[in-house]
C-alpha cells in the first residue's frame, strides 16, 4: 500500500493554490486513467486534488458563435449534448467510438486530453521505458510494437496518444483553455500535445501548475460532410490501431475546405497541411483522396510488428473521406446506448 493524501478543491483558484503548494500532487477528475496508473505503480502522486466539484460542467455557445466545453463535462454528456450532436457530429462520433459507456460516463473532457499512452511497456514497471523513467531506454522499439506509432517517432519513444476525442478536436481546430499562476491562456489544439523527441516523458505543453478549464470549438462544425472511422482489434472497448477524422465542406462535387486527422499512429493526433491543401479545390473522388492519403503518410515508418498500419491507414483515409463526401458517416455501434 502506497499512502497518499486526498483533498477536494472548491474552485479553480483553490485548485491552483493547492497544486502550487505541492508540486508532487496530481489533479483527479474521472480517475479512469490516473487510478489505473497508480494501481500499476506507474504514477505515485503523494496527494490527489479532486477537481470534480469545480464549476466546469457546462457546454454553451459563446457570443461569437463558438462553443465552450467545460473541462469536467463527462464524455457521454458531451457526445449526447444537442449542440455537439447537431453542430459537431464528428466530435460526438469520435467520443462514442471510445472506451465503454460506463467509462464515458466517468471520463472528463480535460482528462481525455491528458490520458497517457497505452504502450504495453509504459505499464510494465519491470521493463525500461523512457516515458516512465527518462534515460532507461525504449523497450517497444525492438519489442512488441504492434500498437505503437508510425509517424513522428524518435529514437527515445514510439508511443501513440490513445484518445479518439482528440483526433476530432484536432480536425475541428479546437482551442484548449488553461489557467495557471500567471493567469489564463489558450493553446491551439495542434500545439497542445507534443512529439516525443528526446523528452518523451512530456506528453503535452501543459505546465504542472496549470489546469485545463475548457475546450473551445470554432463555429464551423462540418455537420454535413464528416466521418470518424476507427479500426481496432475488437469492435468495442479497444483502442485504435488507426483512426481517421475527416471533415469536408463541399461546393457541388468540389472540395471547398478539408480537415483530416489520424489517431493511433503518433504521439499526437496527426495532421499535415499539405494533405489538406491537396484536397481543397479538387473533385471529391477516390484519386484526390488517395493523393491526400499519400501526403499525410509520406513520412510514415513501420517497426517490426506495425508496418501494416501504413497501408491500413492509407485505405482508412480513402474510405473515411469517401464516407464524408457522400454524407454517409461511419455509425458508431454505441450510438444508441445511453
Ligand atoms: C479500459 C479502458 C478503455 C478505454 N478506451 C478508450 C478508447 O477507446 N478511446 C479513448 O479515447 N479513451 C479510452 N479510454 C481512456 C479514457 O477515455 C480516459 O481514461 C479518460 O478520458 C480520462 O479522463 P478522466 O477524467 O477519467 O481522467 P483522470 O484519470 O482523472 O486523469 C487523467 C490525467 O489528467 C489529469 N487531469 C484530469 N483533468 C484535468 C484538468 N482539468 N486539468 C489538468 N489535469 C487534469 C490528471 O491529473 C491525470 O494526470 C479507455 C480507458 C479505459 C480504462
Ligand atoms: S514507446 Fe515510449 S512509452 Fe513505449 S516503451 Fe518506448 S519509451 Fe516507453
In this prediction, residue 336 carries a pLDDT of 55
- At residue 289, what are phi and psi to the nearest 5 degrees? -65, -40
Q: What is the pLDDT of residues 164-174, one digit of tens each?
A: 999 999 999 99
Which ligand is closest to the CA of 94, given by its number?
A: 1
* pLDDT confidence bin for 333, thresholds 50/70/90: confident
Q: What is the pLDDT of residues 63-94, one digit of tens each?
A: 999 999 999 999 999 999 999 999 999 999 99
CB atoms under 10 Å from CB of 128, counted, come to 15
Q: What is the three-class DSSP state of 311?
A: helix
Q: Please state the atom number of ligand 2 nearest to the C-alpha of residue 128.
A: 5
Q: Could you give the CA distance from residue 85 to residue 69 in angstroms, rounded to a whole number? A: 13
Q: What is the pLDDT of residues 120-152, one digit of tens each?
A: 999 999 999 999 999 999 999 999 999 999 999
Q: Could you give the CA distance from residue 321 to residue 171 in angstroms, rounded to a whole number? A: 13
Ligand 1 center–CA 285 separation, angstroms: 37
- Which of 136, 139, 303 is the pocket-test mutation for ligand 2 (most atoms within 8 Å of CB)? 139
Taking residues 163-190, what's their average pLDDT? 98
Q: Please state the atom number of ligand 2 nearest to the C-alpha of residue 145.
A: 1
* pLDDT confidence bin for 237, thresholds 50/70/90: confident
Res. 338: pLDDT tops 60: no
Residues with CB under 6 A from ligand 1: 26-34, 36, 51, 71, 98-99, 103, 106-108, 110-112, 114-115, 162-165, 211-212, 239
In this prediction, residue 268 carries a pLDDT of 98
- Which residue has the CA at smallest separation from atom 6 of ligand 2? 138
The neighbouring-strand residues paired with 254 are: 251, 283
Which ligand is closest to the CA of 118, given by its number?
A: 2
**Lookup: cell for 70:** 467545460
Q: Can you give the pTM of this predicted structure?
A: 0.98
Q: For the chain, where are the alpha helices, taking DSSP H only?
A: 12-21, 34-39, 75-80, 82-87, 89-96, 101-106, 109-114, 120-123, 165-171, 189-192, 273-277, 286-296, 308-326
In this prediction, residue 9 carries a pLDDT of 98
Which ligand is closest to the CA of 16, given by its number?
A: 1
Ligand 1 center–CA 73 separation, angstroms: 12
- Which residue has the CA at smallest separation from atom 13 of ligand 1? 99
Mean pLDDT over each residue of the chain, to the nearest integer: 97
- Which residue has the CA at smallest separation from atom 6 of ligand 1? 99
Share of the chain above pLDDT 70, in %: 99
Res. 335: pLDDT tops 80: no
Torsion angle, alpha carbons of 80, 84, 86, 87, to 10: -170
In this prediction, residue 242 carries a pLDDT of 98
Which ligand is closest to the CA of 142, given by its number?
A: 2
Q: What is the pLDDT of residues 266-299, one digit of tens each?
A: 999 999 999 999 999 999 999 999 999 999 999 9
CB atoms under 10 Å from CB of 247, counted, come to 29
Ligand 2 center–CA 154 separation, angstroms: 10
Q: Please state the atom number of ligand 1 nearest to the C-alpha of residue 72.
A: 41
Ligand 1 center–CA 35 separation, angstroms: 10
Q: What is the pLDDT of residues 12-29, one digit of tens each?
A: 999 999 999 998 899 999
Taking residues 194-207, what's their average pLDDT? 98
In this prediction, residue 184 carries a pLDDT of 98
**Lookup: cell for 239:** 483502442
Residues with CB under 6 A from ligand 2: 117, 119, 121-122, 129-131, 138-140, 148, 157-159, 200
Taking residues 101-122, what's their average pLDDT? 98
Q: How many CA atoms lie within 13 A of 181 on its CB side?
A: 9
Res. 175: pLDDT tops 80: yes
Amino acid at each position: 500500500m502506497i499512502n497518499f493524501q486526498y483533498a477536494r478543491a472548491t474552485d479553480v483558484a483553490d485548485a491552483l493554490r493547492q497544486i502550487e503548494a505541492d508540486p508532487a500532487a496530481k489533479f483527479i477528475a474521472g480517475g479512469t486513467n490516473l487510478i489505473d496508473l497508480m494501481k500499476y505503480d506507474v504514477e505515485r502522486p503523494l496527494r490527489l486534488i479532486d477537481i470534480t466539484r469545480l464549476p466546469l460542467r457546462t457546454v454553451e455557445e459563446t457570443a461569437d458563435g463558438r462553443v465552450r466545453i467545460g473541462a469536467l463535462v463527462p464524455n457521454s454528456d458531451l457526445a449526447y449534448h444537442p449542440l455537439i450532436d447537431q453542430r459537431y457530429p464528428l466530435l460526438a462520433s469520435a467520443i462514442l467510438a471510445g472506451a465503454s459507456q460506463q467509462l464515458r460516463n466517468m471520463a472528463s473532457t480535460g482528462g481525455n486530453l491528458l490520458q497517457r499512452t497505452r504502450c504495453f511497456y509504459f505499464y510494465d514497471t519491470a521493463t525500461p521505458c523512457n516515458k516512465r523513467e527518462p534515460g532507461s531506454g525504449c523497450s517497444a522499439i525492438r519489442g512488441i510494437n504492434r500498437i505503437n506509432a508510425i509517424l513522428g517517432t524518435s529514437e527515445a519513444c514510439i508511443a501513440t496518444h490513445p484518445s479518439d476525442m482528440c483526433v476530432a478536436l484536432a480536425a475541428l481546430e479546437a482551442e484548449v483553455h488553461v489557467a495557471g499562476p500567471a493567469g489564463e491562456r489558450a493553446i491551439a489544439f495542434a500545439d497542445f500535445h507534443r512529439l516525443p523527441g528526446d523528452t518523451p516523458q512530456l506528453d503535452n505543453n501543459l505546465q504542472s501548475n496549470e489546469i485545463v478549464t475548457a475546450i473551445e470549438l470554432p463555429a464551423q462544425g462540418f455537420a454535413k460532410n464528416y466521418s470518424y472511422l476507427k479500426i481496432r482489434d475488437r469492435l468495442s472497448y479497444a483502442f485504435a490501431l488507426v483512426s481517421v477524422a475527416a471533415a469536408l465542406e463541399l461546393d457541388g462535387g468540389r472540395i471547398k475546405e478539408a480537415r483530416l486527422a489520424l489517431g493511433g499512429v503518433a504521439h499526437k493526433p496527426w495532421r499535415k497541411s499539405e494533405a489538406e491543401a491537396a484536397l481543397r479545390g479538387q473533385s471529391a473522388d477516390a484519386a484526390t483522396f488517395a493523393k491526400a492519403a499519400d501526403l499525410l503518410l509520406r513520412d510514415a515508418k513501420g517497426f517490426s510488428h506495425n508496418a501494416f498500419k501504413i497501408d491500413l491507414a492509407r485505405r482508412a483515409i480513402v474510405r473515411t473521406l469517401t464516407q464524408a463526401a457522400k454524407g454517409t458517416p461511419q455509425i458508431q455501434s454505441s450510438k444508441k446506448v445511453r
